[in-house]
């Protein structure tokens, strides 16, 4: 994208879309990196004993992976950066031992502020037909 990347944006533009695969292996690696070793993220028996359907993805892993779809897009724009990123966790993401879990992430321009040269990027994060992150919004600033 050129130096006039901000000017080329319009509300409603889909700027990035990707399917992400979460696996049990990825959950274990994330637990090691984050220090979150809650057994609901790697043991079905423990997850089920507290009323969950099985092992769940870490909420912050889901949020971070979803955000990477927008940050990968931004990385190709000179002078663009993330100013803020927020989300609500609305549904858990069960990660099957054999199949894993496939998330679909769509990043759409939700609002533009010409004076501040910022774009609100709305992330729609879907697992098994349901939105799993609510009000997932990234504020991108442009040079």
User: How many domains in the chain?
Assistant: 1
Residue 33 has pLDDT above 90, yes or no: yes
68 inside domain: yes
Task: Describe the strand order of the beta sheet including 130-141 as a list of residue ranges.
Answer: 14-22, 101-113, 118-127, 130-141, 81-89
101 inside domain: yes
120 inside domain: yes
Predicted confidence (pLDDT) per residue in 133-143, tens digit: 999 999 999 99
**Whether pTM exceeds 0.85:** yes
Mean pLDDT score, 10-18: 98
Residue 63 has pLDDT above 70, yes or no: yes
Mean pLDDT score, 106-115: 98
d(CA 31, CA 136): 22
Residue whose pair of structure tokens reads 């790697």 in the numeric block: 42
Range of the domain at 81: 5-21+58-141
Say if CB 102 and CB 121 are below 8 A apart. Answer: no
Supply the CATH number for residue 81's domain: 3.10.129.10
Mean pLDDT score, 67-91: 96
Q: Report the pLDDT value the prediction gives residue 100, as an integer from 0 to 100.
A: 98
124 inside domain: yes
36 inside domain: no
């Amino acid at each position: 994208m050129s130096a006039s990347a901000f000017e080329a944006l319009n509300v409603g533009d889909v700027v990035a879309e990707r399917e992400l695969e979460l696996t049990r292996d990825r959950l274990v690696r994330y637990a090691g990196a984050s220090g979150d070793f809650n057994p609901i993220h790697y043991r079905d028996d423990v997850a089920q004993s507290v009323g969950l359907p099985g092992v769940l993805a870490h909420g912050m892993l889901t949020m971070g992976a979803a955000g990477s779809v927008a940050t990968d897009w931004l990385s190709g724009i000179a002078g663009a950066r993330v100013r803020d990123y927020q989300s609500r966790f609305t549904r858990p993401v069960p990660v099957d031992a054999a199949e894993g879990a496939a998330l679909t992430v769509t990043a759409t321009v939700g609002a533009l502020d010409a004076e501040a040269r910022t774009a609100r990027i709305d992330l729609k994060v879907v697992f098994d037909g349901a939105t799993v992150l609510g009000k997932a919004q990234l504020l991108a600033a442009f040079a």
